[in-house]
Amino acid sequence: MLNDIQEVLYDENQIQQKVSELGETISREFEGRNPLVICVLKGAFIFMADLVKKITIPLEIDFMAVSSYGQSTKTSGVVKIIKDLDVPVQGRDIIIVEDIIDSGLTLSYLIDVLERRNAKSVTLVTLFDKPTGRKVELEADHKGFILPDAFVVGYGLDYAEKYRNLPLIGILKPEVYEK
Ligand code: XMP
Ligand code: MG
């Protein structure tokens, strides 16, 4: 698996350190509230699991699955809800946990959905951000690492469903997906 990685951007220790910092920030920000933390599947599942362990206040979790990329490495611009939330969001403080923001299309769509359902507040947390890929204006409230405009895998992120279990984040060798 590591043979397919061209360059490791952040290793396991660097990621865990950053996730701890984000957890502390969120714990302070949401003190005295009971946020609903939403994991955007599948990519954010590892970040979500690590992050909530570093949040020290009571919270609830739920999951949502959306599709935008399919098997390709570039966005199609089409966002579809594959799995919706189990609980209503009306009047709730929502924290969206996302793995990576690229074009911003997925998240701007999701935020719109949650606001139309009358969430009290929507806070966006992403571990990775590729600001040069934006097609719509969107900024996360909390972000871990800024990445270059390259296709990355690991720590939950996949190429054709592979590499999610790498504990690091790295750039995939182009020959792996240009085949
Ligand atoms: P958008 O473009 O809507 O993208 O902001 C968000 C979703 O696209 C996926 N994504 C990636 N997945 N490596 C991946 O494995 C990448 O470099 C990458 N860039 C975007 C991801 O699923 C995210 O939720
Ligand atoms: Mg993906």
State the pLDDT confidence band at 127, using cuts at 50, 70 and 90. very high
- Over residues 41-78, the pLDDT tens digits come to 999 999 999 999 999 999 999 999 988 655 555 555 66
Q: For residue 62, what pLDDT is reported?
A: 98
Residue 154 neighbours by CB under 8 Å, 6+ apart: 5, 163, 164, 166, 167, 168, 169, 170
Strands ordered across the beta sheet of 93-101: 80-83, 60-67, 36-41, 93-101, 121-129, 142-146
Which atom from ligand 1 is nearest to the alpha carbon of 43?
22
Q: Which residue among the candidates 102, 112, 141, 149 is catalytic per the annotation?
A: 102
> With pLDDT > 70 as the criterion, what percentage of the chain qualifies?
93
Q: For residue 69, what pLDDT is reported?
A: 55
Whether 102 is catalytic: yes
Q: For residue 67, what pLDDT is reported?
A: 81
Instruction: Please indicate whether residue 158, judged by its CB atom, sits closer than 6 Å to ligand 1.
Output: yes
What is the value of ipTM here, to two decimals? Answer: 0.91
